[in-house]
């Protein structure tokens, strides 16, 4: 089943008052994401990946084009704050820097409590406490190690695990993960990626992985989309993209990945 449809999506940024400068960050891209599918959006810095994610997350309006989630045009049909909240429960973001997702003045419990509130469950209730314990256990965290702590008291890996625990509570249909392991200790990366795979296997959660790392994309994705200067220049299964890349840029990306054929260690 198709979950997300992106059609002819374009974003043009304009800057400057007197001499207007136009940057075509995303240039007429179209793709679908199916239920339970893990798709990587791979490209160099400035290729338009984050701009694409922000439009899908309904944080940034497109210049033109349509984004449909479960058949609903997210920019036309979502009108009220409540509808937007419901959308963000279904389409959830996990960002590159887990520290930025936390408010330094509050303990980390808040990110889980906010999720419980979204679900209409009181955080202090027995059900709320039980769910938090289950969520932490799902991501391999011991409650006593993290609850009541401030974000700076946890490691980057622990902070990102907590963001995935939040996903476990909300059970979104689609996760947009923007470079989710690039700021995490190399030894921890495989374990964090595995948690996204577990969500896919256990709950059919679809994921869009935004990354510049073709090696990572190869091992985690059902499909890879290569983005270059705002356009999707290659799209297909990892083997298709790697064995018969269509665009010169994809070939260059592949040349720069010497460890691609080394299996990821989970
Ligand atoms: N708010 C903005 N105003 C003007 N130009 C912008 C803005 N945000 C992004 N851009 C430009 O749009 C283009 C695409 O940027 P975007 O952040 O989407 O790329 P990216 O592939 O996500 O890069 P990175 O991997 O570095 O995050 C770049 O040329 C960038 O400079």
Residue ranges of domains in the chain: 34-64+75-255
- pLDDT tens readout for residues 59-76: 999 999 999 999 999 999
The band of 99, judged by pLDDT with boundaries at 50, 70 and 90, is: low
Fold of 34-64+75-255: Rossmann fold (3.40.50)
Q: Is the CB of 84 under 6 A from ligand 1?
A: no
> 264 falls in which pLDDT band (50, 70, 90)?
low
DSSP SS3 for 67:
strand
Q: Is 211 in the pocket of ligand 1 (CB under 6 A)?
A: no
- Ligand 1 contact via 49 beta carbon (within 6 Å): yes
pLDDT at position 131 over 90: yes
In this prediction the pTM is: 0.90
pLDDT digits (tens, 9 = 90+) for 213-237: 888 898 899 999 999 999 999 999 9
CA-proximal residue: ligand 1, atom 12 (nearest): 25
- Give the whole-angstrom CA distance, residue 160 versus residue 94: 8
What pLDDT is recorded for position 98?
63
Pocket-testing residue among 25, 42, 179, ligand 1, by greatest number of atoms within 8 A of Cβ: 25
Mean pLDDT of the 34-58 span: 95
The rounded distance, in Å, linking the Cα atoms of 10 and 24 is: 8
Q: Does residue 148 line the site of ligand 1, with CB under 6 A?
A: no
DSSP secondary structure code for residue 259 in this structure? T
The ipTM of this complex is: 0.93
pLDDT for the residue numbered 63:
97
H or E segment to which residue 167 belongs: helix 156-170
């Amino acid at each position: 089943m198709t979950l997300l449809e992106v059609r002819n999506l374009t974003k043009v940024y304009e800057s400057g008052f007197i001499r207007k400068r136009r940057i075509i960050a995303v240039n007429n891209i179209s793709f679908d994401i199916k239920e339970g599918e893990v798709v990587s959006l791979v490209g160099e810095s400035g290729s338009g990946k984050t701009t694409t994610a922000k439009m899908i997350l309904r944080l940034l309006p497109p210049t033109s084009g349509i984004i449909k989630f479960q058949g609903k045009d997210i920019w036309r049909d979502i009108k009220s704050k409540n509808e937007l909240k419901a959308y963000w429960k279904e389409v959830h973001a996990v960002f590159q820097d887990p520290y930025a997702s936390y408010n330094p003045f509050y303990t980390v419990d808040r990110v889980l409590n906010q999720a419980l509130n979204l679900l209409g469950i009181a955080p202090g209730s027995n059900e709320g406490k039980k769910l938090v314990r289950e969520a932490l256990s799902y991501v391999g965290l011991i409650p006593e190690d993290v609850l009541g702590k401030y974000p700076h008291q946890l490691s980057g890996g622990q902070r990102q695990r907590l963001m995935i625990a939040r996903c476990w509570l909300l059970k979104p249909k689609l996760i947009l993960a923007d470079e989710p392991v690039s700021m995490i200790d190399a030894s921890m990366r495989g374990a964090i990626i595995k948690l996204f795979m577990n969500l896919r296997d256990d709950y059919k959660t679809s994921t869009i992985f935004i990354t510049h790392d073709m090696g990572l994309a190869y091992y985690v994705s059902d499909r890879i989309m290569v983005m270059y200067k705002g356009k999707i220049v290659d799209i297909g299964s990892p083997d298709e993209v790697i064995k018969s890349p269509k665009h010169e840029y994809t070939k260059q990306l592949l040349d720069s990945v010497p460890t691609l054929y080394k299996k990821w260690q989970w």
